[in-house]
Amino acid sequence: MAKISIEVPAAVLYGTNMNLAETTSFARKALAMEYYTQKELSLGYCAEIAGLSQFEFIQYLGKHNISIFQFDDLEEFQREVAVAKNE
């Protein structure tokens, strides 16, 4: 796994009342959420980046009003619904 390092001013940590571990967790989740919303990576990869199980990541997305159901257009959504009805 690759490691990414960012510098966060101590004042920011103080202002957010987060310690280093909490800030790291926040950054991982924020990065994963951004990748997911930009359709850059799968749910599974994003969950791994966030340090969460897929179920936990889905819950995290839900808390931020991000749906796991992403469709490019109405026709794609209707096809998916039709397939689901036949299962």
Least confident range of 8-17, 58-67, 69-78: 69-78
- SS3 (DSSP) at 4: coil
Per-residue pLDDT tens over the stretch 22-47 = 989 999 999 999 999 998 899 999 99
- SS3 (DSSP) at 55: helix
pTM of the model as a whole: 0.75
Q: What is the pLDDT of residue 6?
A: 85
Q: What are the sequence ranges of the domains in the chain?
A: 10-86
Q: DSSP characters for 8-39?
A: --HHHHHHHT--HHHHHHHHHHHHHHHHHHTT
